[in-house]
A and B are shown apart, each in its own frame.
Chain A
């Protein structure tokens, strides 16, 4: 591999690494959002169940 080839490879690897890091960060963020949505769903279901129990009782 010549020096020029090494530098060109390095440049394209840097682009790939930065984009990959960005995509991984976005993926982590989406996972967190998914967890939060699940939590909200559980909370809402628990509140509905509680309301039903009160109205029956």
Chain B
């Protein structure tokens, strides 16, 4: 059953398109060049926003998993699966854009000595394995239970991955957010906030599109059996 106060998918999709265009305009035409990294720092706006969006998707997946375990609502299981799927897509983008940024900033595509990078890779692979687990069990309550428990375990890795940068002693990865707030201001902060909002709304639009498709697929299967 649809929630009464929910925005329509068209509204969400249009809002995400407008926000992404505004964010891109701010990134390339308004935000100033960084004093240390110069033009290459412009990768930051989408790279960091995508990373937080991926964390958000994994957290949403865990929340839905908890709801499944609590209420045994099969819709929550499907929602958890779709949120984690979105998280893995955004996680792939974090790794790809991060590698490109690392190459221009540090001269390497990847550094195994960097806790932040390795822990994000661990988190990403953990959620990739979620799909192997899910599709190795036949559809039904058992599969939903296994998937929900696995998704809940994974959420523990999110703060570990996020805090790794602060725990690490010898890091080269920039620290963007400190306890006293973000490490930047002015147009850089405005551009980052718009990019973050754009990515979150965009992820929400993709989530709803994929969820509608999955629900329709499920309904068709049920009709075929009936």
Contacts and interface: CB of A to CB of B under 8 A. Distances in A.
B35 interface: no
B50 A33 contact: no
A29 B213 contact: yes
Interface string A23-57: 00010011001001100100000000000000000
Contact of B43 (A8, A29, A40): A8
Contacts of B210: 26
Interface in A1-21: 2-5, 7-8, 10-12, 14-15, 18
Given A11-B43, A11-B46, A12-B46, A26 B220 contact: no
Contacts of B129: none
Given A7-B103, A11-B101, A33 B43 contact: no
A18 B46 CA distance: 14
A15 B220 contact: no
Interface residues of A, number: 20
Q: Which of A3, A11, A37 has the most CB of B within 10 A?
A: A11
Interface in B40-56: 40, 42-43, 46-47, 50
Main DSSP-derived SS at the A contact region: helix
A47 to B, nearest CB: 12
Contact of A15 (B50, B206, B217): B50
Contacts, number: 59
A8 B206 contact: no
Contacts of B100: 7, 10-11, 14
Nearest to B50: A15
A52 B103 CA distance: 71
B133 to A, nearest CB: 22
Nearest to B24: A12
Contacts of A22: 89, 206
A12 B28 CA distance: 11
B104 interface: yes
